[in-house]
Chains A and B, each alone.
Chain A
Amino acid sequence: MVFRLPVFLLLFSSIVACNTKPRTDTLFNLLPSSETGISFENKLTDDEDFNIIEYLYFYNGGGVAVGDVNNDGLVDIYFSSNQASNKLYLNKGNLKFEDVTEKAGVGALGNWKTGVSMADVNADGLLDIYVCGVGNYKGFTTTNQLFINNGDLTFIERASEYGVNFSGLSTQASFFDYDLDGDLDMFLLNHSVHSVRSYGRASARFDYDPLAGDRLYRNELDKGLSSFVDASDIAGIIGGPIGYGLGVNTSDINMDGYPDIYVSNDFRENDYLYINQKDGTFKQELESKLSHSSRFSMGNDVADFNNDLLSDIITVDMMPRKESIIKASVGEDSYEVYKYKLEYGYFHQVARNALQLNNGNGNFNDIAWLSGVADTDWSWAPLLADFDNDGLKDLFISNGIVRRPNDLSYLNFISTDSAQRLSDITLAGKMPDGKVSNFVFQNKDNLSFKDVTNDWGINLPSYSNGAAYTDLDNDGDLDLVVNNINEKAFVYENTLNDSLRNFLQIKFKGDSLNPFGIGAKVVIYSGAKKLYQELNPTRGFLSSMDFKLTFGLGNTSLIDSLVVIWPTGFYQKFTSIKVNQLLKVDIGQATSFFNFETLHAGPSLFKPFELKLDKPYIHKENNFVDFNREGLMPRMVSTEGPKMAVGDVNRDGLDDFFIGGASGHPSSLFFQRADGSFNSTNESVFRTDSVREVTGSMFFDADGDKDLDLITVAGGNEYISGIQIQPLLYVNNGKGEFSINKNALPQIFVNASCARAADFDTDGDVDLFIGGRIVPNRYGVSPPSFILENDGKGIFSDITKKTFVGEENLGMVADAAWLDLNGDRLLDLILVGEWMPITILIQSKEHVFIDKTADWKLGKTNGFWNTLAVADFDKDGDLDFIAGNQGTNTRLKVNEAEPLEMWASDFDGNGSTEQIITYFNQGKSYPLASRDQLVKQIPQLKKKYLSYSNYIDVTRETILTDNEKKKSLYKIATTFHSTYFENKGSSFEMHVLPIEAQTFPIFAIQPDDLNGDGHLDFLAIGNLFETQTDLGRYDGGNGIVMLGDGKGKFKSSPQSGYFVPGAGRDIKILKDYKKRKIYLTSRNSQTVMSYQLLDR
């Protein structure tokens, strides 16, 4: 044994010795019941009256509560059983347990029991047990039960005496001190059982439901009373009939000293995030703090997984990982129906796990896809805990359902005539099995998790529900206990044995009303490392954890300092703490009050700037749904505005700005006045072409009269041809009054993305590049891009054919930049776009553009690029660029070996283009579309894929014939990383941007030296909400600041103060009347946000 045994380990010194059984080579070792003595099994029997069809939570299983009920230093285990007796196992040491249920009197009565929690409710220093159940329903008489610990391994049920003998549809209770009066109050999570026939108004949640509504009970112990009172109403707890509550966590999520509450709700109801208002009330603020939540939210956990001292949230759902199960399961609503259901008042929800990363400013972003934990099938308990003691919290997820009611083939079967005469129980019996392995992910730092289910040895298929981690054998690592349906509970011994994996355990002695110290927080500082945990035992699903905290410390041998912050607000600090010990902390030694503001610094770079507009501006997107025309597109391309242009157009020495309008909404041009306010101008001219969706714009002097003219290009994927998609030139009369010159530009109908002006032919006037973005009705087909040559007087002619030899269709261009790459003083072009590589067009002396992408080593950069920004980031004298891509926070994982592929053709000969997109999942490539999506677009395939089972095994090889592939347009994407491209003289070297820049699609990048260190930094914004619903909204970004070191390295500056929620589209720097830099930030369907740098 390598642990240096500390003095504090007296209690378990004998146990720690290495005389246990031979180690397996996996981290976890499943202990047989014959060794542990734990034979508990949650055995279920369904019958005609009570089964999965009659009670939709029939297979939710039971919970696990762990805690030392006899204060002998060994953690005991309590299991809940749905239908049979609950069990209490006393830890006898050496991983041997004794069933003491009967003696202890904690079997618990009732027809159906659910979650369980331990807490010292009466503050006598002994852990009590609270058991939830289902009563007052289908003849069930179960009441929730409170087993008060007598201290002699017997308990007495006293729920009614304490006023917590609720009888209804309870899931679980969590004990916490929400009003900081010292005693433990109780949040009771209940669940609705309504069939989800219709989407009633969401406001029904504010009705009162005596059985299904959640409750908050205030403990009156502080007044000397052994009772609870229902404080739900006064505290603002939602107690309505649509709360399908499956998970509760009472934690100080915003770190202000007052515990908050996260409730995960199944089905249509939103999750709830209650923020403690510090006055005995809560405010439910989920919708303003999250971008979306899980949809069928089950259990949850709240913990700081990235060691930034901010609590993150994970909720689990039922997104399968195996392709065959994805294809066999009911999918998401169509985009239109999804949108329609939102109108009932519900929030954005997606049917997959959500890992909500705390941004530190009160907001969260789901990064589950990026982190690799989004899809763990029918999941119940997520538990964030450091299982390998490397200082990073790993993630365990329990998993499995006895019968999958959402299997398409099953639903098809029961829709047949013969099946509808079958009884419930027979029907239920025909549901396919969902016995799958639990998951465990190792935290690899850098916001990433690695699936180590097999490596760590928890890969047995099971129906696992409630679970708890705890150190059963006092050897300093966390073991796992899992409650299974129809199978013995799993007891996994953690076999960690590594001298570089140190630990610290902490046991709390709280004050008289809360002896176990629930709500205490611990912050550990060790070198640059910061670790944080809160003593908050109720976690995961139906279960509660131990009352001692375990910190993994990796190779840290001495902890610099450790702060314990008690729920009362008092704290104590320890320095130079030895590792591998049990540290006992006592509230008696905490004497001063903790200032939570010291934990996190405030904004470091930016503060909001008040943009004074004479007319309020809000971008309005028109209601055009690309998917209604092309159902197989992965994302819409009609919401890519608004883009802006900045310049002094009225020549008063002050910057003005233009912002493009969506179709049906005029663009706007604001003039800055001497007092720094802005006036909307030229309104009538922009009204005349408001049918155009302006997607790109630029100020430049088109006619050589020394004022700024304006070009706008239009897109929107709606119009196929006509004035709606004709670029327009607005000529400035020198005073900032614009008029459209209809003859200035040749007739080129194109859904464009950008106009880029430059004198490429060095004849003294400014010419134009117009980037073609999309061909309506033919997603995937490259539209033409154009070179327009200026005749010197502001009249342009189309010389594309002459200049782009054979390269007229350059791709679905999203952005472009002029720059001289090869030093021949002729401007070259970089193009970025969707399904295309970063494309380099080098200008020859004859002013012909030649594709030199491969020469510049960019041939393998096919991505979903949205934008680029050119600058000399590494200060070596040449121009580098940063390009914004899709990001990796998406279900679609791509690389060179495993690309996203698209074949586009009119497969069924009906005159429209269909796209077959294939993606890799677990090493194999499958069509992305569900069978229903596919046959809706290509009905002839209905005959080929008559049943869902025909479609399950279809791969990229079999979805199309070779012949069909041959005649199709073929495109790929091999990278979704937003990337820094370093100019190496004759080639570009790719440097993937840090992970913080990969959580969302980047639509705009603005380089600037933000921190005044002389090196270029950059801002980036994005998000895209209009995606296929089974991919989900790309909303993982709130704006980022990346600080450069002048050598091409960038580092995220998380607390910068630059905060841009929503669909960011453009950033422009404008100098205000005091010559301060204003960072204008446009967003689709929202206002313009503006920031300025903090005074330095």
Chain B
Amino acid sequence: MNRLLVLLLVLSLASCSKPNTEYKVRANNPEFLHRSLKEITDLIVHDIFSPPQASRIYAYSSIAAYETVILGDTTFRSLAGQLKGLDKLPSPESNVEYCFPLAATQAMLSVGKALVFSEDKMEGFYEGIMKEFRETGMPDDVYDRSIGYGNKVADHILQWSSKDNYKQSRSFPKYSIQSDPATWKPTPPAYSDAVEPHWKKIRTFVIDSAAQFKPERPTPFSIDKTSQFYTEALEVYEKGKNLTEEEKAIASFWDCNPFVMNVRGHVMFATKKISPGGHWINITRTICNNSKKGFNESAEAYALVSLSLADGFISCWDEKYRSNVVRPETYINQNIDENWIPLLQTPPFPEYTSGHSVISNSAATVMTKLFGDNYAFTDSTEVEFGMPPRQFQSFMQAADEATISRMYGGIHYMPACKNGKVQGKKIGEFLLSKLNTR
């Protein structure tokens, strides 16, 4: 509010003066970027994209912004040539003026708009933010040129995205429920179809292949009471029955289920929330703000974090449909206690490995590199979904908590958390070793 007021004041003053470079300072405000990605997050939530789909939208829109804005800053390096299938971006015209933050915002929103369903819902936001850009005092030609260039980049990114096999994957066969009790089954209350059984066929961004970081084999299935599998299920069951308030708070805080079904009488309706990836995107915003990162560095952070999410999901989903492990809820109801209900609603895809464990650790690894170890922060991103903020001493601590939260929540056995963590860290480290943004 205040900032806007100041902006307006400055604007009215500035418009009187002749040579106007003030707008550059005003337009180079990372809030434009943060707000744009938050808008995309809100639409992802609204349209109920599954966690892997959401990570794909984050990656393309963040890269669009990054690739655009760095053209105004030679300290950054393009990811073209570093990401699979991404060719050199179209160059801006030389010797003319651009507002690259505007172009980047335009590119991000255009890509985001194309990838979500409810594009109309973005209109109000888009018009508002563009009005703010104009009100920086930016000359009309710069404005128009930047918008045009942002669109060009967006087209390039969308063209790139169109070849990642996503479209084809829409017609791949659905998951066939198998009678083998070891295999994943639909879970109450919605008994939804399995989410994205062919996500491993989506082109990876950085990692060599979906299977590059194939985790340790899951515990062999058994219903024998002396078996390791039974013991691990019993652990989930016992834990679920004896959760402390703190453990419950942890599980709920990291739930990040985009589509929780509620049943009341005849009525079955959903509660929508951010995905695990969305949670880390929000953390990234928080940290950029805390660290007073500028537009360009923020764009870099989003790009790298979203890549760690996207490849993390591809890697994790590859394993999920390789091992097809049955969820604790199904196993426990059949073999331990038919009335047991996990604290969190079981998401509709196989158990091993834990997606949240994988991507929290890949993201935290990247963020540690960007912002340092032992970076204490308060995560208030779940406040809008009714959860109090939580404090963390480091990104890795947050990732550890997200990891164990899945066991508390009763939706994963311990190995999926532990091995998922290893998988995620490896992906994060690999990304950092491969990508060069400076």
Residues of A within 8 A of B (CB): 52-56, 195-201, 330, 333-334, 336-337, 339-341, 405-406, 411, 414-417, 420, 623, 625, 627-629, 631, 908-912, 914, 937-939, 942-943, 946
Contacts and interface: CB of A to CB of B under 8 A. Distances in A.
Contacts of A912: 168, 171
B118 interface: yes
A911 B171 contact: yes
Contact of B174 (A53, A336, A340, A405): A336
A820 B193 CA distance: 52
Contacts of A938: 170
Nearest to B260: A415
Contact of A908 (B170, B174, B188, B333): B170
A341 B118 CA distance: 33
Interface string B333-350: 100001101000000000
Contact of A631 (B118, B174, B265, B333): B174
Given A405-B266, A628-B175, A943 B117 contact: yes
B74 interface: no
A453 B377 CA distance: 69
Given A337-B191, A340-B185, A415-B272, A197 B177 contact: no
A195 B268 CA distance: 10
Given A53-B264, A195-B263, A910 B191 contact: no
Contact of A340 (B186, B266, B267): B186
B119 interface: yes
B247 to A, nearest CB: 23
Interface string B260-287: 0001111111111000000000000000
A336 B118 contact: no
Contact of A55 (B120, B265, B267, B339): B265
A629 B176 CA distance: 10
Interface residues of B, number: 36
A417 B171 contact: no
A337 B174 CA distance: 12
3 shortest interchain CB distances as A-B pairs: A198-B188, A56-B265, A912-B171
B173 interface: yes
A339 B179 CA distance: 11
B167 interface: yes
Contacts of B167: 908-910
Interface in B126-179: 167-168, 170-171, 173-179
Contacts of A623: 176, 178-179
Contact of A197 (B179, B189, B269): B189
A415 B176 contact: no
B191 A333 contact: yes
A618 B70 CA distance: 69
Nearest to B117: A942
A627 B176 CA distance: 10
A411 B269 contact: yes
B186 A628 contact: no
Contacts of A201: 338
21 contacts: A53-B265, A56-B265, A195-B264, A198-B333, A199-B188, A333-B191, A334-B174, A336-B175, A340-B186, A406-B266, A416-B272, A623-B176, A625-B174, A625-B176, A627-B174, A628-B173, A628-B174, A628-B176, A910-B168, A937-B171, A938-B170
Contacts of B171: 910-912, 914, 937
Contacts of A939: 170
A631 B167 CA distance: 16
Given A334-B193, A341-B191, A910-B167, A414 B173 contact: no
B402 to A, nearest CB: 23
A190 to B, nearest CB: 17
Contacts of A406: 266-267
B168 A911 contact: yes
A779 to B, nearest CB: 12
Nearest to A198: B188
A218 B314 CA distance: 65
B118 A946 contact: yes
B268 A411 contact: yes
A379 to B, nearest CB: 15
Nearest to A335: B174
Main SS of chain B's interface residues?
loop
Interface string B232-270: 000000000000000000000000000000011111111
B198 to A, nearest CB: 12
A320 to B, nearest CB: 15
Given A406-B266, A628-B176, A337 B272 contact: no
Contacts of A908: 167, 170
A56 B266 contact: yes
Among B117, B167, B333, the most chain A Cβ lie within 10 Å of the Cβ of B117
A416 B174 CA distance: 28
A548 B411 CA distance: 61
Question: Which of B120, B171, B177 has most A Cβ within 10 Å?
Answer: B171
B271 A415 contact: yes
B403 to A, nearest CB: 27
Q: Interface centre among A56, A198, A911, by most B CB within 10 Å?
A: A198
A513 to B, nearest CB: 42
A911 B120 CA distance: 28
Contacts of A627: 174
A340 B338 contact: no
A417 B265 contact: no
Nearest to A628: B174
A368 B193 CA distance: 30
Nearest to A343: B179
A195 B174 contact: no
A405 B272 contact: no
A333 B192 CA distance: 9
A911 B333 CA distance: 41
A405 B333 CA distance: 29
A630 to B, nearest CB: 9
Contacts of A914: 171
B188 A197 contact: yes
Contacts of B118: 946
Contacts of B192: 337
A197 to B, nearest CB: 5
Given A196-B263, A340-B186, A946-B117, 12 more contacts: A52-B267, A53-B265, A200-B338, A334-B174, A336-B186, A341-B191, A411-B269, A415-B269, A623-B176, A628-B175, A628-B176, A912-B168
A200 B189 CA distance: 11
B191 A199 contact: yes
A846 to B, nearest CB: 44
Contacts of A52: 265-267
A942 to B, nearest CB: 5
A337 B339 CA distance: 20
A937 B191 CA distance: 19
Nearest to A52: B265
B269 A340 contact: no
Nearest to A911: B168
B349 to A, nearest CB: 14
Contacts of B341: 197-198
Contacts of A943: 117, 119
Nearest to B174: A628
A625 B269 CA distance: 29
Contacts of B264: 53, 195
B176 A405 contact: no
A415 B189 CA distance: 15
A895 B272 CA distance: 45
Given A910-B167, A910-B168, A912-B171, A405 B117 contact: no
A339 B174 CA distance: 14
Contact of A336 (B120, B193, B268, B339): B193
A200 B330 CA distance: 11
B117 A417 contact: no
B328 to A, nearest CB: 14
A199 B168 CA distance: 34
B267 A411 contact: yes
B252 to A, nearest CB: 15
A411 B263 CA distance: 11
B176 A417 contact: no
